[in-house]
Amino acid sequence: MTDQYLSADCENCFGLCCVALSFAASSDFAFDKGEGIPCRNLQTDYRCGIHKNLRINGFRGCTVYDCFGAGQKVSKVTYNGNDWRKSPETAKEMFSVYPIMQQLHEMLYYLNEALSLEDARSIYKDLVQAFQETEHLTYLSPDSILALDVPSHRDKVNGLLKKTSELVLTKVKSKKNHRNMGKRKINRGRDLIGANLRGANLRGVNLRGALLIASDLRDSDLRETDLIGADLRDADLRGANLKGSIFLTQVQVNSANGDIHTKLPPSLSIPRHWLV
């Protein structure tokens, strides 16, 4: 599976994230918008009229969103290129299908990464099966997609992702008997909002679901660290080494702050706002 398949391709989407989803006026969005209502910045060609200036216009939230390729799948495959403006009778259904497809594609993204990890070879067949099953669901009819028990399927996928994480982290721990993490034990879901972790050796640590909002991670070592679901909004990653970290997404990177000295996995890119 290619990375392009599992990342947003706005040129082949009917602006679904700009219509189907809702948002409230906040530091991330300049005004309120309800579900199924086109954003006032959405143009007739389904492009954003302020795309190059989203942040300065108060739409930081848009710059950290990624549908993982669900937008083009719904637009070009599920609805075979029939857009909601020309076929308004499909609009409501399409807008309901989209967020479900987004969840399925997010699972595919994580499974695809797990399949690329050498340390997960022992569960490779299980990962392949889960990937194929999930991909199959993305090709179902709209009615069938709407009827899916997504939480149940996610639990199955998450179990495999946890096993993958354990295999990677166990190998790292076997190489090192200790870590320079201070006296705090870092657990999944731990509240580390604003924490001072500058220069910390977090290599091979489980940070799944950790709240790292506005934390100071400058010059920290996050190699082979499990970051699935970690909240990195406004975290300071300047000089941090995230190469080899697992389950890190472009969305998480975009929500954080960093610089040209931040080392990212090769599949991810430095956000434009880091260079300003």
The answer to whether 226 touches 244, Cβ cutoff 8 Å, is: no
Mean pLDDT of 175-188: 50
Distance CA 70, CA 64 (A): 16
Q: Which two tokens stand for residue 30?
A: 């300049």
> Which CATH code is given to the segment(s) 177-276?
2.160.20.80
The pLDDT, as a whole number, for residue 173 is 73
Give the pLDDT band of residue 3 (cuts 50, 70, 90): low
Q: Per-domain residue ranges for the chain?
A: 4-170, 177-276
**Total residues belonging to the chain:** 276
Rounded to two decimals, the pTM is 0.91
Calpha distance 161→167 (Å, rounded): 10
AA identity, residue 66: D
How many helices (H) and strands (E) the chain has is answered by 7, 0
Return the structure tokens found at 145.
């997609």
**Residue 149: CB partners within 8 Å, gap ≥ 6?**
none
Give the whole-number percent of the chain exceeding pLDDT 90: 88
CA 209 to chain centre: 12
CA nearest to 244, candidates 261, 212, 267:
267
8 Å CB contact between 240 and 218: yes
